[in-house]
Amino acid sequence: MTFVRGERTRARPLATPTAAIAPPRRRGATNLLLEPGDASLSSLFGQVGEGLYVTDVAGLHSGVNPVSGTFSVGASGRLIEGGELGAPVREITIAGDLVGMLRDVLAVGSEDRWIPLGGSVRAAPLLIGEMAMSGS
């Protein structure tokens, strides 16, 4: 088992006999930074040809297994048709595993942005080769 602790709290006990009952402090990584690549968003769409541009996901709190890395979450976005943005889609499901998804990254976009997600995430668009999705 691995613990993330700061230098200040390493030698201190987490509770003493006189301590009030309180939830334990959480330790862990809170920031994720994905460096941007060289491809513009329109260039990524051109490489895809036919696919899906995911703009929003829902259910990250319950749809991701932090041990195995598998996920199944709701998503919305727009179809990519002929290398151009097409019709909007909503209430679809995307699924896979995080390691496999990261192995299948084909290109990284240049337009990164900050996303408030339980800490801070700065990410650029990722072109992922294959991913399971369902919905109509």
Which tens digit of pLDDT belongs to each residue from 90-128?
999 999 998 999 999 999 999 988 877 666 788 899 999
Among 87, 83, 81, 73, CA closest to 133: 73
Is 13 a domain residue?
Answer: no
Is 59 a domain residue?
Answer: yes
Residue in the structure block whose two tokens are 């072109």: 127
Number of H helices, E strands in the chain: 3, 9
Is 83 a domain residue?
Answer: yes
Cβ contacts of 25 within 8 Å, gap of 6 or more: 14
User: pTM for the whole thing?
Assistant: 0.73
Find the domain containing 125 and state its range.
31-134
Is 20 a domain residue?
Answer: no
Is 37 a domain residue?
Answer: yes
Is 72 a domain residue?
Answer: yes
**Tens digit of each residue's pLDDT (9 = 90 or more) over 13-36:** 555 555 556 666 666 666 788 889
Give me the number of domains the chain comprises.
Answer: 1
Is 124 a domain residue?
Answer: yes
